[in-house]
Amino acid sequence: MSPLPRGLTYAALLTPGTAGSLVGQGIVPVERNWAGLYAMVAPATGEFAQHADVGGGGGVYAVAGLDRDRVIGLRVQVSGTILGGPRYTVRYSSPGYPDEFQVVRYYHAIVSLAAGPQLTLPGRHVRPYVTGQIGISYVFSFWERRWEYDDPDLDPLDSGTGTGDFNLPLSAGGGLMIQLRRGARPLWLDLSAHWVGHGQSEYVRDDSIADSRWGTPVRPTPTRMSLWEFRAGVATTF
Instruction: List, for residues 41-73, the tens digit of each pLDDT value.
Output: 999 998 888 888 899 999 999 999 998 888 999
Amino acid 9: pLDDT: 41
105 and 194 part of one domain: yes
CA angle 229, 230, 231 (to 5 degrees): 105
Q: How many domains does the chain have?
A: 2
23 and 43 part of one domain: no
Strands (E), 43-168: 55-65, 72-94, 97-120, 126-147, 158-167
What CATH number did the domain enclosing 82 receive?
2.40.160.20
Amino acid 51: pLDDT: 81
190 and 127 part of one domain: yes
pLDDT above 50 (res 15): no
219 and 142 part of one domain: yes
Domain hosting residue 2, numbered range: 1-29
17 and 75 part of one domain: no
51 and 1 part of one domain: no
Amino acid 176: pLDDT: 97
53 and 153 part of one domain: yes
201 and 164 part of one domain: yes
14 and 96 part of one domain: no
Amino acid 30: pLDDT: 47
73 and 151 part of one domain: yes
Computed over every residue of the chain, the mean pLDDT equals: 80
Instruction: For residues 183-208, give the mean pLDDT.
Output: 84
Quick check: 188 and 177 in contact, CB under 8 A? Answer: yes
Amino acid 17: pLDDT: 45
Among candidates 98, 25, 35, which has minimal Cα distance to 70? 35
pTM exceeds 0.85 for this model:
no
123 and 223 part of one domain: yes
pLDDT above 60 (res 5): no
More confident residue, 126 or 160: 126
Amino acid 21: pLDDT: 45
151 and 201 part of one domain: yes
pLDDT above 90 (res 127): yes
pLDDT above 80 (res 96): no
More confident residue, 8 or 68: 68
pLDDT above 90 (res 2): no
